[in-house]
Copies of this chain bind each other. A is one copy, B any other.
Amino acid sequence: MTAIQRIDPGPILSEAVVHNGVAYLAGQVSTSGAREVGGQTREVLAAIDALLARVGSDKSRILRAQVFLADMADYNGMNAVWEQWVAPGQAPARATVQAALAKPQWKVEIVVTAAVDR
């Protein structure tokens, strides 16, 4: 049986689950009240950085990112922050679509899958 590691397991979700060298992160959203998509994206990516650090990974080892934007008009605003953040030469596979998120103030949610050192 392969071990499963959970980060911040709660009654509804865990913030990350690690299995067989892969970390599956929960969808990350803005947590500190930024209202513009740029600020929210920075918060989301900081949350991803922090979770990856806790599982022994980092942004250079992200395999896939699924980006959900509440309004596709925010695509360029999200992307500008994203492009500054990505590890050069090590960008993940990515898909970006529009979808309303769980709270109306949220403009961006990103779901990351990453490799973990074993």
Q: How many identical subunits does the complex contain?
A: 3
Report chain B residues within 8 Å CB of A111: 64, 66, 95
A42 within 8 A of B: no
Measured between beta carbons, the chain B residues less than 8 angstroms from A66 are 95, 111
Task: Take A12-B79, A63-B19 as given contacts and tell me if A24 and B92 are in contact as well, using a CB distance cutoff of 8 Å.
Answer: yes
CB pair B11–A90 under 8 Å, yes or no, is no
Chain B CB within 8 A of A54 CB: no
| Complex: A35 Cα to B84 Cα, angstroms | 33
* A47 lies within 8 A of chain B by Cβ: no
Interface residues of A in 40-77 (CB under 8 A from B): 61-66, 68, 72, 75
Contacts known (A20-B20, A72-B100, A102-B75); A94 close to B1, Cβ less than 8 A = no
> Is residue A37 within 8 Å, beta carbon to beta carbon, of the partner chain?
no
Return 9 A-B CB contacts under 8 Å, by A number. Answer: A2-B21, A10-B91, A11-B91, A12-B79, A12-B94, A14-B93, A17-B64, A72-B100, A72-B102
